[in-house]
Amino acid sequence: MKRLSPLRRISIGLVLLTISILLTGDLFFGVMSEGPDSRLEARRRLTEALAVQFSSLAAKNDFDTVQVTLENVVERSSDVLSAALRTVDGTIRAEAGVHSRYWEDIPFDKSTPTAAQVPIYMGNERWGTVQIRFTPLAGIGFANLLSSSFIQLIAYVSITGFFAYMVFMRRTLKHLDPSAVVPRRVKTALDALAEGVVFIDEKSEIVLTNSAFRDQSGSTTETLLGIKLSDMNWMRPAGVHNIEDPPWQQAIRSGKKQVGTRMCLDTPSDGIKTFTVNGSPILDDDGKSRGVLVTFDDVTELEEKNNQLHELVAKLKGSRDEIHRQNEKLQILAARDPLTDCLNRRAFFERCEAEFAVAVADESPLSSIMLDIDHFKNVNDTHGHAVGDRVIQSIADRLRSVLRSIDIVGRYGGEEFCVLLPGLNTDQAAEIAERLREQIEEHTCEDVNELERAVTISLGVASLQASTMDAAQLVDAADKGLYASKNNGRNRVTRWDDLNEVNVA
């Protein structure tokens, strides 16, 4: 069975007390009595009053006024069914209602609770009778009891009094100090805690605080008592976005302890403070939450230290990233030829050695191309070194446009380039070398307008053989093919294996 709250129990008790006072007052003073005796007395007085009035009117033969009076009595009184003025010989001189239907056949000089008769005299002789037919008197049944005005009054007092007392008690209890009933030793123990402690009821209203929380919030007992804890200036800490409800609301709703929630409070004197908040529900005998014990651990100083540490770490990270970027730039400068952006000789051979090791381990093809610009000294002598540099740049760009992204290009010397082709055999490498030769011969003049005739290149091609011991031997084989091309008229591609076949022959 659901237990009533203390506020409802107090209100019901006050209503019962009020009803008891009403019943006791009626018992001693009868101020609320409305029994059959009082109604009979009222009927008797009405009949006698009419008899006195009608005696005067009958003496004047003013029966019209008698008629009007009777009609008004029947119309306005719910107790009266009919009324008539009858002479001693039984003649009806005035009536209201269907008197013949309602009137009882009773002796001429008798009356009953529902049929009243009062004689009218003229001088010493009886002239007639005033007859009034009333409704039956109500008994003491349940239905009649409910229609009693006294019972209705009690019902009204019970219903309205209950709600009135609830409102009054709620406002009264709100201004009472619950801490007044807390033993001093308990208050002393709570005030000795470094953590802030707050007791709230099921409506989240504060009923008790310790001195630590009052100091932390910059408030007094009077300003805190009775307000909702949630109505204080709470804020989310920076970086915290998952607090749907404060922990005390979650504890009330779930009936479970809430631990370690970070919250910030904007205090009037010390600015924004950061707390670690815990909430433990206070359960009654039925396991229902009747309030929450909330603790506040001030971690403002620790939070500030953490923020400073985070800022320092961020600065260090920024410095590290900047150093990393500068190192990358230095590595690029150290590994790249500044004129062509190709690998320089040292960096090219480092890559060659790595690719050579992979090819040997995987038993995969690996080829190399050596190329040299034909009659490059004439270009410099005729057009100057600036044009010569542009020719070298143009050839580097054509190499990159023809080669694959995985191919490696290095500037081997002044006008010499070396290309490493992972995964390609001699035939494939020779095809690429021929395509390079054609591209450079056809387009160099387009790239360098000052040239009067096409620039050509000589190339040598070599591939990984069983007798090749290292990357330097592979490059040296391609270089021998290059010299063979130069010796045989330039502007051509010579394969290293073709040279071996000639030597064998």
302-330: pLDDT as tens digits: 877 877 888 888 888 888 888 888 877 77
Predicted pLDDT at 452: 80
> Mean of the pLDDT values across residues 7-24?
74
> Comparing 73-87, 106-120, 233-247, 277-291, which segment has the lowest mean pLDDT?
233-247
Residues 237 and 374 in one domain: no
Pick the more confident residue, 20 or 396: 396
The reported pTM is: 0.41
Residues 27 and 45 in one domain: no
Q: What is the CATH number of the domain that holds 51?
A: 3.30.450
Nearest to 54 by CA among 69, 39, 72: 69
Please report, as a single letter, which amino acid is at residue 258: Q
Q: Is residue 312 part of a domain?
A: no
Q: Is residue 284 part of a domain?
A: yes
- For residues 353-382, b (16+ Cβ closer than 10 Å) or e, as one string? eebbeebeeeeebbbbbbbbbbebeebbee
Q: Is residue 327 part of a domain?
A: no
Interatomic CA distance for residues 227 and 220, integer angstroms:
12
Predicted pLDDT at 403: 93
Nearest to 100 by CA among 112, 86, 119: 86
Residues 89 and 158 in one domain: no
Nearest to 336 by CA among 410, 422, 404, 421: 410
Residues 223 and 267 in one domain: yes
Chain mean pLDDT for the chain: 83
> Mean of the pLDDT values across residues 46-64?
82
Pick the more confident residue, 411 or 160: 411
Q: Is residue 328 part of a domain?
A: no
Predicted pLDDT at 176: 58
Q: Which tens digit of pLDDT belongs to each residue from 388-414?
A: 999 999 999 999 999 999 999 999 988
Residues 358 and 438 in one domain: yes
Pick the more confident residue, 481 or 156: 481
Residues 162 and 233 in one domain: no
Residues 482 and 341 in one domain: yes
Contact present, 327 and 306 (Cβ < 8 Å): no
Residues 192 and 160 in one domain: no
Residues 241 and 352 in one domain: no
272 pLDDT more than 50: yes
Residues 366 and 475 in one domain: yes
Q: How many domains are there within the chain?
A: 4
Residues 449 and 410 in one domain: yes
Q: Is residue 304 part of a domain?
A: no
Q: What is the CATH number of the domain that holds 447?
A: 3.30.70.270
Residues 123 and 165 in one domain: no
Interatomic CA distance for residues 450 and 260, integer angstroms:
77
For the chain, the C-alpha Rg in angstroms (whole number) is: 59
Pick the more confident residue, 481 or 330: 481
Predicted pLDDT at 505: 41
Nearest to 134 by CA among 37, 49, 38, 42: 42
Please report how the helices 385-402 and 376-383 are oriented relative to each other, as an axis angle in degrees rounded to 10. Answer: 140
Predicted pLDDT at 164: 80
Listed residues 298, 315, 347: the one ending a domain: 298
Q: Which tens digit of pLDDT belongs to each residue from 174-203?
A: 555 555 556 678 778 888 888 889 988 888
> Mean of the pLDDT values across residues 95-111?
81
Q: What is the CATH number of the domain that holds 227?
A: 3.30.450.20
Predicted pLDDT at 128: 86
239 pLDDT more than 70: no
Query: What SS3 class is residue 258?
Result: strand
Q: Is residue 319 part of a domain?
A: no
Cβ contacts of residue 273 below 8 Å, gap of 6+? 216, 264, 265, 267, 298, 300
459 pLDDT more than 90: yes
> Comparing 2-6, 17-21, 445-449, 475-479, which segment has the lowest mean pLDDT?
2-6
Question: Best-predicted range by mean pLDDT among 321-325, 374-378, 441-445?
Answer: 374-378
What tokens does 174 get? 């709100």
Contact present, 133 and 103 (Cβ < 8 Å): yes
232 pLDDT more than 50: yes
Predicted pLDDT at 1: 45
101 pLDDT more than 80: yes
The percentage of residues in the chain with a pLDDT greater than 70, rounded to a whole number, is: 87
The percentage of residues in the chain with a pLDDT greater than 90, rounded to a whole number, is: 27
Expressed as residue numbers, the domain containing 27 is 6-33+148-174
Predicted pLDDT at 242: 53
Tally Cβ neighbours within 10 Å of residue 34.
13
Q: Is residue 322 part of a domain?
A: no
Q: Is residue 303 part of a domain?
A: no
Predicted pLDDT at 484: 95
140 pLDDT more than 60: no
> Mean of the pLDDT values across residues 231-252?
77
Predicted pLDDT at 358: 94
Listed residues 77, 111, 134: the one ending a domain: 134
